[in-house]
Amino acid sequence: MRKVSESTVKRLSRYYRVLRLLEKEGYVTVSSKELAKIEKLTPAQVRKDLSLFGSFGTRGLGYKVLELKEKIASILGLDKTWKVALIGVGNVGSALVSYKEFAKQGFLIKLLFDNDQRKIGKNHKGIIIKDVKDLVKELKESKIEMVIIAVPADQAQKVVDQVVKAGIRTILNFAPANIKVPDQVFLRTVNMAMELEHLSFALINQI
Amino acid sequence: MRKVSESTVKRLSRYYRVLRLLEKEGYVTVSSKELAKIEKLTPAQVRKDLSLFGSFGTRGLGYKVLELKEKIASILGLDKTWKVALIGVGNVGSALVSYKEFAKQGFLIKLLFDNDQRKIGKNHKGIIIKDVKDLVKELKESKIEMVIIAVPADQAQKVVDQVVKAGIRTILNFAPANIKVPDQVFLRTVNMAMELEHLSFALINQI
DNA sequence: AATTGTGAAATTGTTCACAGCA
DNA sequence: TGCTGTGAACAATTTCACAATT
């Protein structure tokens, strides 16, 4: 496969959402022009992105909504389910457990961990919270493929180190911390404060 | 000011975090080389980013940690406080109210709204939850500068329309929905499912 | 006639390399 | 000497423009 940029992957996610919507509204075909309009992009951008993975359209006609949706799902790995463990059942962690969008896209939270004795052993939305002490052992025994980190910032690196030790290669981090992982591990960090900083920058600089 | 790219703003946020840390650890100066090493960038990148806003360093010496931190804070608008309203006190909304990092950076959540009669009038972490029906009126009366949307996806557009109507120009959206706003309004959407999609793409394609 | 897929051109973003300064 | 600030070179990404196809 040719080089796929970070931004292309993001746009694929966006196309996927639009296609789900269009499908629900009964659209059968869609052109790059229409997709571009909805996402505020150029038609050429849409076609370039898609052409990186194959020729999904029909000249003169456009793309079949259902077919393109499924192609993108397969590219993004949304045509299978992923087993996810979540570490840190605090405010953010609890919100994520209840976040419907994850399950809808095949990300199933199967294990919960915390270090709070009052939480360990309790049933949270149908899952027994385990002790983070047993993290490595439990992750190794399970078939978990992804881990979500929702622990306080000062504990995040330590927890991530253990997750990596357990052989997990994909981590989504919500702790506002500068986490280091080996090269072969994919780590993405969502920092909500940074998003607000972006807005305050925009507001100040009156873009 | 010259054109400041999206990625430059993101990197400024990252530098800011590093500088806070370095300051706490007692560092007085830092070079572009050191900053670059920590953030896995090139020294030239760091210097280019900073030079967009002025000459903050000293040749032969580097940057003064405290001074650079304050310069970046001022660029990002973190040297003042912002009054924020949060709409939707569900799982995600509650987590955001408790998110310490916001207050630390001067983003103060001053108003809460919900449409659930059982929540309206209740005190949540020191703030009385108001009826979303009064959104426009309340926002106009208040000195709110930013709004965070944490309502279900199917209500998000309607709520955003009202927020815009109330004259708010910066919105951070956590609803997994394709929101449209007029050109002069800054909207950022955090879609947590998209982040996982990025990871599953990476895992499938064994980058 | 409409729209894709794609090389080529234009634009944007990053790195190099070095003059200039502490 | 060491490190910044920056124009020039390079690389990546986006847009253009058009042949190919239905």
Q: CA–CA separation, B164 vs A22, rounded Å?
A: 26
pLDDT of res. A103: 95
Q: Is residue B160 part of a domain?
A: yes
Do A105 and A171 have their domain in common? Answer: yes
CA B193 to the chain's CA centroid:
18
**Which residues of chain B does A40 touch, with a Cβ-Cβ cutoff of 8 Å?**
none
Nucleotide D5's nearest residue (CA vs C1') is B51
Encoded tokens for B134: 């009064």
CA B129, CA B88: separation in Å to the nearest integer?
10
Same domain, B111 and B66: no
pLDDT band at A3 (very low <50, low <70, confident <90, very high): confident
In a domain? residue A109: yes
Q: Is A1 part of any domain?
A: no
pLDDT given for residue A21 in this prediction: 95
pLDDT of residue B122: 98
Q: Report the C-alpha gap between B120 and B112 in whole angstroms.
A: 9
Shared domain for B113 and B30, answered yes or no, is no
Give the Å distances, CA to CA, from A113 to A28, A67, A97: 44, 39, 12
Please report whether residue B1 resides in a domain.
no
* Interface subset of B 3-42, CB within 8 angstroms of A: 4, 9-10, 12-14, 16-18, 21, 38
Structural tokens at position A88: 């840190």
Residue nearest to nucleotide D13 (CA to C1'): A5
- Residue B105: CB less than 7 A from any atom in strand D: no
CB atoms closer than 10 angstroms to residue B88: 26
On whether both A45 and A137 belong to a single domain, the answer is: no
> Which tokens hold the place of B78?
């973190």
Q: Which pLDDT belongs to residue B89? A: 98
Asked if A77 lies within 8 A of B12 by C-beta distance, the reply is no
> What is the pLDDT averaged over residues A162-179?
96
Task: Please tell me which residue of chain B has the smallest CA distance to A189.
Answer: B195
Q: Which residues of B touch A12 (CB under 8 A)?
A: 201
| Mean per-residue pLDDT, A166-174 | 97
Q: Read off the pLDDT of residues A94-120 as tens digits, 9 standing for 90 and up.
A: 999 999 999 999 999 999 999 999 999
Bigger pLDDT: A132 or B207?
A132
Inside any domain, residue A153: yes
Chain A residues with CB-CB distance to B78 below 8 A: 197, 200
Q: Whole domain around residue A117: which residue ranges?
A: 82-194
Q: pLDDT tens for residues A121-158?
A: 999 999 999 999 999 999 999 999 999 999 999 999 99
Are residues B185 and B157 located together in one domain of the fold?
yes
Give the residue-averaged pLDDT of A185-202: 96
Domain end call among A24, A55, A76: A76
Distance B187 CA to C2 C1' (A): 34
Task: Identify the pLDDT of residue A205.
Answer: 87
Residue B2 has pLDDT above 70, yes or no: no
pLDDT reported for residue B3: 78
Domains: count for chain A:
2
N-to-C CA span, chain A: 37
A44: contact with B, CB 8 A cutoff = no
Nearby residues of A89 by Cβ (< 8 Å), 6 or more positions away? A97, A112, A113, A114, A116, A119, A124, A129, A150
Is residue B99 predicted with pLDDT exceeding 80? yes
Q: Supply the mean pLDDT for chain B.
A: 96
Q: What is the mean pLDDT of residues B38-56?
A: 97
Does residue A207 lie in a domain region? Answer: no
Instruction: Tell if the CB–CB gap between B201 and A102 is shorter than 8 Å.
Output: no
Residue B207 has pLDDT above 70, yes or no: no
Same domain, yes or no: B14 and B110: no
CATH number, domain containing residue B126: 3.40.50.720
CB atoms within 10 A of CB A31: 16
Same domain, B130 and B162: yes
Statement to judge: residues B169 and B185 lie in one domain: yes
B207 part of a folded domain: no
Q: Which residues of chain B neighbour A102 with C-beta distances below 8 Å? A: 192-193, 196
Which amino acid is residue A169, in one-letter code?
R
Q: Are residues A175 and A108 in the same domain?
A: yes
Q: pLDDT (tens digit, 9 = 90+) per residue, A146-155?
A: 999 999 999 9
A206 touches strand C (CB under 7 A): no
Q: Which nucleotide is nearest to A30 (CA to C1')?
A: C3
Single out the residue in B56, B76, B96 at which a domain terminates.
B76
SS (H, E, C) A84-130: EEEECCCHHHHHHHCCHHHHHCCEEEEEEEECCCCCCCCEECCEEEE
The reply to whether B67 falls in a domain is yes
Say yes or no for a CB contact (<8 Å) between B101 and A203: no
Q: Say if residue B1's pLDDT is above 60.
A: no
CB neighbour list of residue B106: distance below 8 Å, 6 or more residues apart: B78, B79, B80, B81, B82
Suggest the residue from B79, B189, B190, B198 to mutate for an interface test with chain A (most A CBs closer than 10 A): B198
Quote the pLDDT of residue A1: 54
Q: Retrieve residue B160's tokens.
A: 């955003």
Domain containing A68 — which CATH number?
A: 1.10.10.10
**Same structural domain, B68 and B145:** no
**Polymer length in residues for chain A:** 207
User: Which residue in B77, B84, B92 is closest to A204 by CB distance?
Assistant: B77
Chain B residues touching A85 at Cβ < 8 A: none
- Asked whether the predicted pLDDT for residue A207 surpasses 70, the reply is no
Return the pLDDT at B16: 97
Asked whether the beta carbons of residue A82 and residue B18 sit closer than 8 angstroms, the reply is no
Burial B14-46 (b: 16+ CB within 10 A, else e): bbbbbbbebbeeeeebbbbebbbebbebeeebb
Q: How close A200 gets to chain B, by Cα (Å)?
A: 6
Q: Which two tokens stand for residue A185?
A: 């591990």
Would you state the pLDDT for residue B206? Answer: 73
Q: Assess whether A43 and A92 both reside in one domain.
A: no
The predicted structure's pLDDT at residue A2: 55
Structure tokens at B96: 């955001």
Please state which of the ranges A66-70, A170-174, A175-179, B122-126 shows the lowest mean pLDDT: A175-179
For residues A112 and A185, state if they share a domain. yes
Final residue before a domain boundary, out of B42, B76, B110: B76
Confirm whether any atom of chain C, the nucleic acid strand, is less than 7 Å from CB of A37.
no
